[in-house]
A and B are shown apart, each in its own frame.
Chain A
Amino acid sequence: NFMLAQPHSVSESPGRTVSISCTGSGGSIANNYVQWYQQRPGSTPTTVIYEDTRRPSGVPDRFSGSIDSSSNSASLTISGLKTEDEADYYCQSYDNNNWVFGGGTQLTVL
């Protein structure tokens, strides 16, 4: 079975750049699109990246997604960090049309 692993938490200072990894196992991460969801405390998840690299309208270009086949991982990179970026971030992909979620990463901006 395909699985996704994320670091439990990351922290960075305002204005800096942070990358959150999502490592696949049991299959190639490049075989299916990866999505990233942001969930601020007490709020509903929202999509910040879909189809590996695409941003929904309204999501600032400080957010970017990438795939690295060599490490079988996806990454969400947030540049120019703002305190409002503090949230849980989840990666998600597919395994034969079954959804697979990573465990989530808590981003602290301090």
Chain B
Amino acid sequence: QVQLQESGPGLVKASETLSLTCNVSGGSISNYYRSWIRQPPGMGLEWIVYMHYAESTNYNPSLESRVTMSIDTSKNQFSLELSSVTAADTAVYYCVVTNIVTGDLSWGQGTLVNVSS
């Protein structure tokens, strides 16, 4: 069973760049499509970005101009960068993978990122 673990700073200053990494264990990252999802405190789930077939990438239109997603197959991990953050970007950030063969989806535990003014 694949396991995911997000890592990164829990506090980011407004106007700076949020950087998170998702470490994948129990399976090769090449066998999965990769996504980032976030959840502001007390609110629902919001999709950020989805890297899928042939590394094609789809972005939430409301975030696209500020989002960069990358993958490091040698480290079996993928990353998220969100630039020019504001208080509205305070949320728990989850990495999610979709098994290319089975279609099953697995979630990381999530990491809370607070944006300070």
Contact residues of A with B, CB < 8 Å? 33, 35, 37, 44-47, 50-51, 54, 56, 90, 92, 96-101, 103-104
Best-buried of B45, B60, B103, B110 by chain A (most CB within 10 Å): B45
Can you list 14 A-B contacts (CB < 8 A)?
A35-B105, A44-B94, A44-B107, A45-B45, A45-B94, A45-B107, A47-B106, A50-B105, A54-B103, A98-B50, A99-B35, A100-B47, A101-B44, A104-B45
Total A-B residue contacts, Cβ distance less than 8 Å: 52
Given A90-B44, A98-B60, A99-B35: A47 in contact with B50 (beta carbons within 8 A): no
Cα–Cα, bound, A103→B61 (Å): 18
Contact residues of B with A, CB < 8 Å? 35, 37, 44-47, 50, 52, 56, 58, 60-61, 94, 103-110
Question: Of all chain A residues, which has the CB nearest B1?
Answer: A57
Asked if A44 and B105 sit within 8 Å, CB to CB, the answer is: no
- In order of increasing CB-CB distance, the 5 nearest A-B pairs are A99-B47, A97-B58, A104-B44, A51-B103, A47-B105
Cα–Cα, bound, A104→B46 (Å): 11
